[in-house]
Amino acid sequence: MVLRYLTDIKEDKESTVEFYVERLIQPNILRKIVIKLYVDGGTRGMVICLHDPQRQKYIIKKRKGATTNNDLEYLAIIYGVEYANKYYPRDRVTILSDSKLAVSQINGDYKVNGDNLIALHKKVLRKINWRRIGIKWIRRDVNLAGIHLESLRAYLRSSPDRLR
């Protein structure tokens, strides 16, 4: 097939070349670029935030009920995995979080304690495709989702009636 492909190029048979190139490139192969998604969960306001730089999007979701910071960090990662599965099904995705505990537990470096975290940990593992999606820890000061949450909190503190 390769020899035929080279022969066709020499003879300038464009349609045949396109056919062979399409056959060589399988549609299910993962793309080589890596999509980065930033996630963060914050107990002040009970919100999770996802930042998708490729689509220039910030998504903020408010959570109901009393939950811990670790719960919110896990929920943000779960949302990031779901978002990656929906919007980037053929891409490699790295989810970046500033929660050392959640990232280390999901990657198998730390033991998971607490019934609520065990349930959330199992949910992440059920949804994640390790061939495509990775989860990495980043410092708080470079987490774009966390920075956005802090900016939003500062904005709302300066004028609390803006959301009414």
What is the pLDDT at residue 136? 97
145 token code pair: 């989702």
pTM summary value = 0.77
What is the pLDDT at residue 6? 47
What is the pLDDT at residue 115? 92
| Token pair 């061939």: residue | 131
Q: Give Cβ neighbours of residue 85 (< 8 Å, ≥ 6 apart).
A: 127, 129, 133
What is the pLDDT at residue 46? 87
CA 91 remoteness from chain centre: 11
Neighbouring C-beta atoms of residue 133, cutoff 10 Å: 20
Q: Give Cβ neighbours of residue 27 (< 8 Å, ≥ 6 apart).
A: none
Q: What is the pLDDT along the chain (164 residues), one digit of tens a residue?
A: 344 444 544 555 444 444 444 445 445 555 667 999 999 998 777 899 999 999 999 999 998 876 899 999 999 999 999 999 999 999 999 999 999 999 999 999 999 999 999 999 999 999 999 999 999 999 999 999 999 988 888 877 776 565 54
Q: Which residues pair with 51 in a beta bridge?
A: 38, 58
What is the pLDDT at residue 12? 52
| Token pair 């909190």: residue | 153
> Contact 60/48 with Cβ under 8 angstroms?
yes
The fold of the 34-163 domain, in CATH, is Nucleotidyltransferase; domain 5 (3.30.420)
What is the pLDDT at residue 29? 54
- Every domain of the chain and the residues it spans: 1-29, 34-163
Query: What b-and-e string marks burial along 102-117, b requiring 16 or more CB atoms within 10 Å of the CB?
Result: bbebbeeeeebeeeeb
Strands annotated E in the chain: 34-42, 47-52, 57-62, 92-97, 133-137
